Structure 1
Amino acid sequence: MSTAADTTAVTNLIAKYAELIDTGDFAGVGALFEDAEFVGNGGSVRGSAAIERMFTSLVIRYDDGTPRTHHVTTNIALEFDDPATTATARAYFTVFQALPDLPLQAIAAGRYRDRFQCLDGQWRFAERRVTMHLTGDLSRHLRMPNAATRDNHGAG
């Protein structure tokens, strides 16, 4: 059975991911996945350094160091085992982007499926699965070799 503190800790991890992505702190994103796997539509990556490299190579950052995005995470559903040492979560996400010459718009929407584990009293990501269901204009958000790869990335 989970406690309110467990629920808050896991929910805060989900929110921290969105905050770090939107501020362009890809080292911070990687740190959230120290011993975890990040699985996107195009494959999987494991560990802090590999996840930081993936985001750095995939996501465009602008002069202010950010991708000029705003990730909104909704419909979070958490389930804890008993005793509460592992948990799973399901959530929706929508990514908005705005640039001086690009009006604010939704550019992607999908789902997160997460696994968490509690080690030494600290909740951590064990796995994040990102599935992109809807995409808009990603050309100003992701470095893509061609339009065919538009739906095969993992950054959400």
Structure 2
Amino acid sequence: MQDVLDRLTRLEALVSIQQLMFRYAECVDLARFEALGELFRHGTIGAAGARPMRGVSEVARFYAATNRVHADGTLRTRHLAANPIVEIDPSGRRATARSYFVVLQETKAVPLQAIVAGRYHDAYHVVDDAWCFAERVIHVDQVGNMSDHLSFDLRRDPIPEIEG
């Protein structure tokens, strides 16, 4: 019986972690930057090699300052996460995940196209009986035309530091 309970606990953890992965994409695409920040209340997010951001307000401020919100109130993007490999610690309270991402965008100026692709390396932990991001490191591998997405050129410019 304990084996069945352990399997159910691991399955519940897997579903909760996948929901966090997908919520991140939805928050970014819909320009819900405060909700995005909430995902990192107990964790950090940043590009590989850059200073990670921590907490609700820092994450929300960064995304609001660096992403172009269009007339419909969204980024006109679709962040697609694929091939997640989730490994849950035997304690059942920590996990890691690796996945790929592709971001599609279409605007009045840019036809539908992939604008960036890469990998997410994530760590998760349980806080107050709920799974949360502990860390998300974004590895950008391919960059296309991001002129209607970001306020800086990802190929050329360093990731900006946003003052609080």
Residue 104 of structure 2, aligned match among 65, 75, 96: 96
TM-score (norm 1): 0.91
Deviation, 1:144, is: 1.1
Structure 2 residue 44 is the aligned partner of structure 1 residue 37: yes
Kindly name which structure, 1 or 2, has the bigger radius of gyration based on alpha carbons.
Answer: 2
Shift in CA distance, 101/31, structure 1 to aligned 2, threshold 3 Å = same
Q: Which has the higher contact order (CA 8 A, sep 6+)?
A: 1
Residues 7-61 of structure 1, C-alpha deviation per residue, up to 9 Å, x if partnerless? 1000000000001111110111000000211121433111110000110111000
Answer 1 or 2: which has greater strand percent: 1
SS state at 1:99 partner: coil
Equivalent-residue separation in structure 2 for 1:20 and 1:96 (angstroms): 15
Equivalent in the alignment of 1:117: 125
Shift in CA distance, 144/129, structure 1 to aligned 2, threshold 3 Å = same
Deviation, 1:147, is: 6.0
Q: Which runs of 4+ in 1 moved over 6 A?
A: none
CA RMSD of aligned residues (A): 1.7
Equivalent-residue separation in structure 2 for 1:102 and 1:145 (angstroms): 16
Residue 137 of structure 2, aligned match among 125, 129, 150: 129
Which residue identity lines up with residue 86 of structure 2 in the other structure?
A: L
Structure 1: unaligned runs, 5 residues or longer: none
Deviation, 1:145, is: 6.7
How many pairs align? Answer: 152
TM-score (norm 2): 0.87
Residue 47 of structure 1, aligned match among 52, 55, 63: 55
**Conserved 8 A contact 2:99-2:121:** yes
Equivalent-residue separation in structure 2 for 1:18 and 1:83 (angstroms): 28
Equivalent-residue separation in structure 1 for 2:137 and 2:95 (angstroms): 14
Equivalent in the alignment of 1:78: 86
Structure 2: unaligned runs, 5 residues or longer: 1-5
Equivalent-residue separation in structure 2 for 1:71 and 1:85 (angstroms): 27
SS state at 1:12 partner: helix
Equivalent in the alignment of 2:3: none
